[in-house]
Amino acid sequence: MRRVWLSFVLGGSFLCAAQQPAAPSLTAEQQTLFDAAKKDFSEHHPELALEKMKQLHAMVPENSTITDGTAETAITLGDDAYAISLLKPWTATHSEDSFAFEWLARAYAETGNAAERDKTIAAVLKLHETTTNEQFKRADRFVVERVKLVSGYLDIYYALVPFSRYHIYMLGRQVDVNNVLIRQIALESDDIDQVSFAKEHPDMVAKGMRRFSMDTYSAGKPGPNGTTTQTQGLIGFMDGQPSYDDTKARMLKVAHGDAPPAATRSGVPVPKSN
């Protein structure tokens, strides 16, 4: 399935000329080809970009920017199998390439390979703990997959470290067919919820477990005082962290309208890190 919107919506693209510097170790001819591929990509022609990126990869197979960018373009087009064929051997010999591991996790997720997806997510988390890459150090989440809904999509993020005041571990951003945000669906573990959990389940707390909740946040709306607020909805609580697949299934129920909130509150300020 063609996914021409992916990197424009989610950011961090290797082929977005405004975000990425020139690839290292390219000849003038190769740089011209790379610039042309970036132009194709930015103009929503990833199929043309992929042709050029494949040519570049054949010329400079040890260039990380070209390898990662070629895989990104393939995933954008829905050719996850080709991306895996590039990234699996690459990550085996380039263990510090965090971007390659992130793209590989996404390719596995979008082909339904849960075991390799989870293994690669774990590798990304481990790398984040030890990386010297400043950009990767500052990151707090990465996209694992986009799921097609009846009308729109659900982009699923995995936290490199729990983020926001609510300690979000996974985040689903539900958007319409034009990529306009409808709601966010969060698996979070707010510190305030741990008080009752500790009283009810001290044995689980002793094992390092936490209470989690699934919450929804409507698209933010600017108020008269200039503060952007949203409506928060509580879907329910879970004792212990649910698996990726369990969380995804719960998020999809919310996105499909099959899991209405048990309680809501309006006027909640939008956290800066959302």
Residue by residue, pLDDT tens for the chain (274 residues) are 444 333 433 334 655 544 444 556 899 999 999 999 999 999 989 999 999 999 999 999 999 999 999 999 999 999 999 999 999 999 999 999 999 999 999 999 999 999 999 999 999 999 999 999 999 999 999 999 999 999 999 999 999 999 999 999 999 999 999 999 999 999 999 999 999 999 999 999 999 999 999 999 998 887 777 788 899 999 999 999 999 999 999 999 999 999 999 999 988 877 655 5
Classify residue 10: in a domain, yes or no.
no
Question: 155: which strand partners?
Answer: 146, 173
pLDDT for the residue numbered 112: 96
| Sequence letter at residue 224 | P
- The domain that holds 62 is classified in CATH as 1.25.40.10
Domain co-membership, 166 together with 263: yes
CA separation for the pair 270, 98 (Å, rounded):
29
Domain co-membership, 47 together with 118: yes
Domain co-membership, 116 together with 205: no
pLDDT for the residue numbered 157: 98
Question: 222: which strand partners?
Answer: 228
* Kind plus residue range of the DSSP H or E element containing 238: strand 228-239
Q: pTM, whole model, 2 decimals?
A: 0.88
Domain co-membership, 160 together with 125: no
State how beta strands 221-222 and 211-218 pair: unpaired
pLDDT digits (tens, 9 = 90+) for 225-260: 778 889 999 999 999 999 999 999 999 999 999 999
CA neighbor of 155 nearest in space, from 126, 123, 182: 182
Structural domain boundaries enclosing 169? 142-269
What SS3 class is residue 49? helix
Domain co-membership, 227 together with 248: yes
Classify residue 133: in a domain, yes or no.
yes
Question: What is the rounded (10 degree) CA torsion for 104, 164, 192, 197?
Answer: 0
State how beta strands 228-239 and 221-222 pair: antiparallel
pLDDT for the residue numbered 258: 95
Share of the chain above pLDDT 70, in %: 90
pLDDT digits (tens, 9 = 90+) for 31-69: 999 999 999 999 989 999 999 999 999 999 999 999 999
Domain co-membership, 189 together with 212: yes
Classify residue 249: in a domain, yes or no.
yes
CA distance between the termini of the chain: 29
Classify residue 12: in a domain, yes or no.
no
Domain co-membership, 128 together with 161: no
Give me the number of domains the chain comprises: 2
Domain edge (last residue) among 92, 107, 139: 139
Classify residue 3: in a domain, yes or no.
no
Q: What are 95's two structure tokens?
A: 């263990």
Domain co-membership, 127 together with 214: no
Domain co-membership, 80 together with 149: no
Q: What are 243's two structure tokens?
A: 């698996």
| CA distance readout (Å), 102 to 49, 86, 90, 115, 215 | 21, 13, 13, 15, 25
Domain co-membership, 120 together with 219: no
Domain co-membership, 80 together with 166: no
Q: What are 33's two structure tokens?
A: 């080809």
